[in-house]
Structure 1
């Protein structure tokens, strides 16, 4: 009898680097999901106000924005896994010190600000390298499946991390949640140490970092669909950061059950992320950015529920739908970047993407308190919801956003810089 060849693994498309990076991201995501909840309630436990919660959140975002370009340039010149390991270890140290201060009852506002800023600095070097490594480890023909599975893993970690973070904050205090986050960073760094060095990008002909940044800017600015959406997210993320990092915990403290209920609401958000990730494994819409932006329309629902003083089940449903929208957008966005951006430019373009998307987030969180004072808490939340809806509508006025098609794996490469209006994708999306 002829022997049958062994069956291929269902995940044969997932290479070693992809598996390691996904596992490490899940581990660090578990800690990261609970850390913002713990930090916000650490400020409140010290008698801090809404404004001070916003300042601590902004303190993390400001160095992220300022250092992203340096992080992106380094990630396209150095082995990306080395950059990620160093950033993870730096974040582990800053979170461990913060945990020790909170547990010891000696955390003053200036210390929370400084250590939050340190965490943001580490993220500025980690994020562009991480995105470049993930893009490089996935074959284009498996991109939709790979990105969906990756986001499912990350989002499942968000569910568990948010629920655990909220519960631990309520039961044993925020310090232990921050300690868990530090440990997760150490474990993630240990895994990423074993990423294969062959995935590191080529460094080109030895030009300086400023030239690298100019090349990345030309790549970014030459695609209107790219900078239009990043401009949309610059304002969108300011509103979302204010809602999730400042207003949500305040509403939970005043009207719901405190950290526990806010953790449950964030878990519902994570469930929406994961459930929709299962759908995105098989769903391959033709017009990727058009369909992705449909998901953005759901981003403002949590602000609506919080503004309307909705009970926890309604808030959880709004968070679930918002999470679903994030996955629909996120998977399609990653596919667009992979198919349109040259591999050697991934990290620099990702840095401009992150920079543009986050540049106003510190402003949003810093102004969250004054806005709530001027408009009332409900008024500020309604304003965030309306802005999210308007931005989601306005971005669809751009034809490149509406028409960018999914390309076949063997199709010609990315379009030339400064393209004209792209051709229609044929069938309607989906």
Structure 2
């Protein structure tokens, strides 16, 4: 109980409370987007699954292309300012998408352009977020800080999945995207209020972008556990993007009842992520990356259930399991990265992590629509489950994944003191 109260004591820190509030509100904005965008696009005259694939790919591709640049920017500039700009760019992108849906002017090139702006904003924001957490949270409380940030984000995903689906049903996808844009703008204002001490970051003699990228690559590639798990996630994310972005909503529209059914799936996943945070607050494995990778195996379950036409309640239960698994993985992964990677390189290493993890995502989105047409939606979802399982088992073959050990509490305390 004492440890729990100590962890919750982070909430009394003004800087952490602002970061937590901004992150929670930003994720709430993001949570409106999947249902609003998916069914807003699918309900356009003449739209098909391939139309949705094109728009989602337009968001993912710039995110991947700009991710490394985002990491360099976040290691060079104050991460608070980088995050603020990212949130405001995200607000602009979703306001543009909302305006197009509301006025009925929805040419595909314009939708793709607005989606691409959202992708650039994500590339700017996420490396800075990974790096800013150790600037706000003491080293010996990083796992608690990551878990509490995850709790806020996951509660937002849960609320957003329900509210987003309801808003789409009652008012349409355009108004749901208006809410998304407003929430991103509020998050940007909260980040602007955050005051952090300037962090000295060693750069050596060169300040070129290429030199910074080479230094970040050396930090990334020298750690087997990082690049192996990133390779695993490149395949997993391809499957998850296809399943969540296209195949799941398509099956929901065909056989499960439409946006409310898919909102129930997303809500089940969100509730699972909240439960996963509660687990990760107390979980202190000696081999954190091994446990994190093992937690990925149950992530295949919802795609199996969708693929075999299980009842909706079972599919939602599978989504809950997915939420628990991914959240425990995320907290253990983020905490280990923040402990093991030097602070001055953390955003660049994080950008290589995200680039590698997400680089096959657009392929999953592009292939999902055609795969559903050729093989059937259910069969394509079962293929997603196979990809998740095989990639996870392959990662477990790595000694770096199996053997990396967490530092002893006294070692963390000594590092904090020095």
Whole-angstrom distance in 1 between the partners of 2:137 and 2:94: 31
Task: Show the counterpart of 2:304.
Answer: 304
Q: Give the whole-Å Cα distance in 1 for the aligned partners of 2:242 and 2:12.
A: 37
**CA 1:21 to 1:412, structure 2 compared with 1: closer, same or farther past 3 Å?**
closer
After superposition, residues 174-323 of structure 1 pair within 5 angstroms as 174-198=173-197, 200=199, 202=201, 204-205=203-204, 207-323=207-323
Aligned to 1:156: 155
- Contact 2:71-2:348 within 8 A present in 1 as well: yes
Paired residue for 1:129? 128
Partner of 2:212: helix, strand, or coil? helix
Q: Which residue of 2 aligns with 1:19?
A: 17
Tell me how far apart the structure 2 counterparts of residues 9 and 363 of structure 1 sit (CA, whole Å).
Answer: 40
Q: What's the CA shift for 1:50?
A: 1.2
Task: Provide the rounded CA distance (Å) in 1 between the counterparts of 2:11 and 2:37.
Answer: 39
| CA displacement 1:193-243 (0-9 Å, x = unmatched) | 012231555363562121111100000000011000001101110110000
> Residue 377 in 1 paired to residue 377 in 2?
yes
Deviations 1:263-312 (A, max 9, x none): 11101100000012112111211110111112100211121111111221
Find the counterpart in structure 1 of residue 404 from structure 2. Answer: 404
1:26-65 correspondence runs (5 A): 26-46=24-44, 47-65=46-64
User: For the residues of structure 2 that align with 1:317 and 1:8, how far apart are their CA atoms?
Assistant: 32
* Runs of at least 5 residues in structure 2 that lack an aligned partner in the other structure: 414-418
Give structure 1 regions of 4+ aligned residues with deviation exceeding 6 angstroms: none
Determine if contact 2:139/2:412 at 8 Å carries over to the other structure. Answer: no
Q: How does 1:408-419 map to 2 (within 5 A)?
A: 408-411=408-411
Note the residue ranges of structure 1 that are not aligned, 5 or more in a row.
Answer: 1-6, 414-430
Partner residue in 1 for 2:93: 94
CA distance 1:298–1:9, shift in 2 (3 Å): closer
What RMSD, in angstroms, separates the aligned Cα atoms of the two structures? 1.8
CA contact (8 A) 1:80 1:200 kept: no
Residue pair 2:67, 2:351 contacting (<8 A) in 1 also: yes
Could you give the per-residue CA deviations for residues 86-144 of structure 1, whole angstroms, max 9, x where no partner exists? 11111111111111110112122222211111100111011101111013322221122
Aligned residue for 2:267, secondary structure, equals helix
After TM superposition, the structure 1 stretch with the greater mean CA deviation from structure 2, 34-43 or 70-79, is: 34-43
Identify if the C-alpha distance between structure 1 residues 8 and 368 changes in structure 2 by more than 3 Å, giving closer, same or farther: closer
TM-score, length-normalised on structure 2?
0.94
Q: Are the counterparts in 2 of residues 98 and 178 from structure 1 also a CA contact under 8 Å?
A: yes
Three-state SS of the structure 2 residue aligned to 1:85 is helix
Matched, 1:324 2:324: yes
What SS does the corresponding residue of 2:411 show, helix, strand or coil? coil
Q: 2:10 touches 2:145 (CA, 8 Å); kept in 1? A: no
Q: Quick one: distance in 2 between partners of 1:336 and 1:199? A: 24
Q: Distance in 2 between matches of 1:91 and 1:144?
A: 28
Whole-Å separation in 2 of the counterparts to 1:13 and 1:405: 29
**Equivalent position of 2:166 in the other structure:** 167
- After TM superposition, the score normalised by the length of structure 1 is 0.91
Shift of 1:13: 7.5
**Alignment check: 8 A CA contact 2:130 2:346 kept:** yes
Q: Whole-Å Cα distance in 2 between the matches of residues 8 and 261 of structure 1?
A: 40
Residue in structure 2 matched with residue 426 of structure 1 by the alignment:
none
Residue in structure 2 matched with residue 362 of structure 1 by the alignment: 362
**Structure 1: how far apart are the matches of 2:7 and 2:253?**
48
CA contact 1:89–1:186 (8 Å) conserved in 2: yes
SS state of the match for residue 198, structure 1?
A: coil
The answer as to whether partners of 2:53 and 2:366 remain within 8 angstroms in 1 is yes
Residue matched to 1:423: none
The number of residue pairs the alignment matches comes to 407
Further displaced range: 245-254 or 137-146? 137-146
